[in-house]
Chain A
C-alpha cells in the first residue's frame, strides 16, 4: 500500500499543489484545513508523514507538531513544516517541537518530492 501523507494548510491552493504533486509520485494524500482538522483526522487514521503549514487558524503548526509527536501512533513519523524565509525563528521552534525538517516557500514540486523522499522514502 502506498504511503499516506497528510498535508495541513489553510491555503487551498497550497494543499492542492502538495496533494497533486505527491499523488503524481504515487503517494496517497489526505488534506486538512487547519491544525484542529489535522488533529481530528490523525486521530482517526494512521498517516506515514505530515506536511504542515505553521501559520494556521484554530491550532497552529507548532502546536500541531507537538500534539502529533505526543500521539503514540505518530511518535516517529517524519514531519515537514512549510515556512517562509521571514520565519527563521519559527524553524527553530518547529524543530524544537519535533519537526523533522522544513521546506521554504516558495518551493517547486520537485523540491517537495525531494524532501519527502529524503525523510520518508519512496511511495511504496
Chain B
C-alpha cells in the first residue's frame, strides 16, 4: 500500500504543533533546567516526531530526530546537563526538523551536518544502530524458493499464557495456513475437573508442517510467546503420516478448544490463589502504597505519571532489590504518623485529610483528559461553515423584513426565534475559529532570545493575556507586524546594558507583549522600557516634510502618528535619535488590512508603547446602518459613540473646516453626502453620528440613522478596490447592496484635504 498523502498531511500538522510545544518547552527548560516534567515532555514530542515520521516516509526527519532523542534521553536519565549549549542545539535541531518537513532540499547540508556532529559529540558514545530495518519481529520476507521444507514442532504454551491475551489457537491457525499441517494434541496434563483452573492452559501440541516457508517464518509465528512457553522447531527429512487414533485427537482438539474459549469468556470472578504474577503485582502494589500514603509523594508526581520514584530508579539500576525496597519502605514512617507524634495535628484531622486525599485521587482518575474533548477539523471546513452562517444571517434578515411586510402576528414569534437562533449560531461559529494569541506569543520568546544574542543586549520578554482569543485569519496575519514591532523595540528602543546602567535602569531591558479584550475589540500592546522617542524631533521632521504647519498645535498622539507615514523613517535625524519608523508604514498597512488601528505613545527615556486594536472577526460585524441620498451604508458599531439630530445652530466654520460643538468642545464634521459626491437632493433634516477615531471624536453627517445591523462582510470587486472610504459591502435583506464605510480612511482623507 502506498503511503497515503492524507497521513502525511496529518503528520505534518501534528509535527508543526509538536515543534511549537518543543520550542516553548525548551525555553521553559532554560529558565528552569531541573524541570523533569518539561524534559519528559520534550522527549515525548521528539519521540513522536521520530516514530511517526518514519511511518509516513519522512525518513530523514526520523533519522535526524533520533539523534536529538538520544541526547534528550541522556538528559532524562540524568547523564547530561541542561545548559546553554544543549538548549541552543535543541533549538537548532527543532529548526532543522521544521525545514526538513517543509522541503528536505531547503536544508543547508553544512548546517545539517554541523548540528548532527554537535549532537553526536554530546552523545558521548553514539549508538550506530540505524532506525531503519527495525521491523525485526514481523518481517514477512517473500520466499521465492519453492522448496518444500518439513518441520516437526513441539508447542507447549505456559499455563498462564492467556493472561497475556494470547490465543494459541490462532497460532495453530497461522501455521495451518503456511502449508500442509498436521496437529496432534497432548492432553496428559489436563487435571481432574475439580482441580481445573478455567483460566489456565494444560494442553500442548505436536505439529508436523510441510511448507515452502523457512524456519525463520515459523519462529515468527511464535514471536510473542512468553519465556515459560516451550517451543521446539526441528527440520525433518520426511513426515510420517499420523495414525488414525492420532487423527481423532486432532478433531477432538477443535471441540476442546471451543470449550476453553467459552471458559475464557465466562470467567467473571477474579481467580484466587494465582501464583503466576509475581514481581509485577508486588511492584504495582508497592507503587499504589507509595501513591496513597507516602510522605514523598507530591503533586508533581501525580501530574504526569512519568516521574520515576527514587525506589524505582534504584531498583531499575539494580542497586537495590525489590525485597530490600519493600522492607525499607515499610520502616519509613508516614507523614501523618510523624505529625501526630510531634503533636502538630490530631488523629481526627489526619483522618479528614486522608479522606480528602482519597477523594482527590478518585477525582484524578475520573477526570477526563482535557485534550480528549477536542476535535480536529480542517480549516477549510470552518471557512465554509462561516460562509454558510453568513448566508444564513443574510437570509434571516430578509425573512425578518418580509415578515414585517406581511405583518402577521402568527409569523412574528417564529421569525423572532430564528433571529435569536441565528445570532447565537453566528457567535458560536465565529468562536470556533478563535485561537488564543498565546500560540504566536511563544514564538516571540525565541525571537527575543535570538535578538539578545545578536544585539548583545540583555532582553526579557514578558507576556500577558496569552489566553485572549482572536480569529484565526487575523492571528495569522498579525504575525508579521508583531515581529517587526518587537524587533524595533529590541533593536532601537532598548539601550545597551551600559547605557541603561548610566540612565539608572536595570541592565535587562524588558519588552512586554500583552493582549486583552476591550469592548468588542482586541487590544495588543507592545511596550518597552527603552529610551523612547523624542516627539519634538518627529514634529520638526514632519514640518520639514510639509506634513504639518510649524505653528499647528498637535497632540502627542498625532505627532507620533507621523512615524507611520511612508518613507518618514528614512530621514537621518529620526533614525539617529530613535531609529523608529523603519517599515512602520508597512506595519500600519497590514494592521489596517485587518480593519485594525495602530497607535504609538512614547516618553523620552521612559519607553515606548504601541497599541494595536483589532476587530474580533473579519467576516461579520455589528454595524450601524445609515441612509444618505437614498442609499444604505454601514459603519462599524464599535466606533460609534453617539447619535443625535444635527442642530444647525451648533455648526461653525473654524480655519475653513466645518466643526460642531459637542459637550462644549469643538469637533470636526464630515458630510458623507459631500465626501461621496452624492448629487441627490438634501433631505429636510439631517442626523449626526459621532464616531471615535484614534481617541478623537468626529461627526459624520447622514440623512437618516436606520439602526443597528449585523453585516456579513463581502469583499468588493476589483474595480472598487481603490475607492476611498469603503472597506467592503454587504447584502441587505431585500437583496440590495450596502457599502461598509472605512471611517478611519474617511477621516484621514479629510485631514489630508485640509492641508
Contact = CB atoms under 8 A, between A and B. Distances in A.
Are both chains from one complex?
yes
B268 A72 contact: yes
Contacts of B371: 33-34
A54 to B, nearest CB: 9
Contacts of A97: 280
Contacts of A10: 44, 48
Given A86-B70, A111-B140, A114-B138, A78 B166 contact: yes
Interface string B50-68: 1110111000001000100
Interface stretch (B157-165, B499-507, B534-542): B157-165
Interface stretch (B90-98, B168-176, B468-476, B662-670): B168-176
A13 B13 CA distance: 9
Interface string B341-371: 0000000000000000000000001011101
Contacts of B457: none
A60 B474 CA distance: 37
A118 B70 contact: no
A100 B1 contact: no
B224 A60 contact: no
A2 interface: no
Contact of B14 (A12, A63, A106): A12
Interface string B13-53: 01000000000000000000000000001011001101110
Interface residues of B, number: 65
A29 interface: no
A57 B270 CA distance: 30
Nearest to B15: A13
Nearest to A84: B51
Nearest to A68: B165
Interface in A1-33: 10-14, 16-17, 20, 32-33
Contacts of B52: 11, 13-14, 105
Contacts of B479: none
Contact of A34 (B267, B268, B369): B369
Interface stretch (B127-135, B238-246, B545-553, B576-584): B127-135
B221 A77 contact: no
Nearest to B134: A85
Contacts of A95: 164, 226
Interface string A79-117: 100101110000000011111111111111111001101
Interface in B723-741: none
B137 interface: yes
Q: Interface extent on A, as a size class?
A: 35 or more
A6 B7 CA distance: 19
Given A58-B305, A60-B305, A104-B137, A13 B165 contact: no
B653 interface: no
A77 B165 contact: yes
B279 interface: yes
B62 A101 contact: no
Contacts of A79: 164-165
Nearest to B265: A76
B476 to A, nearest CB: 21
B56 A13 contact: yes
A76 B372 CA distance: 27
* Smallest CB-CB A-B distances: 3 pairs: A101-B224, A106-B54, A13-B11
Given A11-B14, A78-B166, A119-B167, 8 more contacts: A16-B6, A57-B44, A60-B305, A72-B268, A95-B226, A100-B224, A111-B139, A119-B165
Interface of A: 10-14, 16-17, 20, 32-37, 39-40, 49, 55-60, 63, 66, 69, 72, 75-79, 82, 84-86, 95-111, 114-115, 117-121
21 contacts: A13-B7, A16-B6, A40-B372, A55-B43, A55-B47, A60-B306, A72-B268, A76-B264, A85-B134, A86-B69, A99-B164, A102-B137, A103-B137, A104-B134, A104-B136, A105-B52, A105-B54, A105-B55, A114-B140, A121-B170, A121-B173
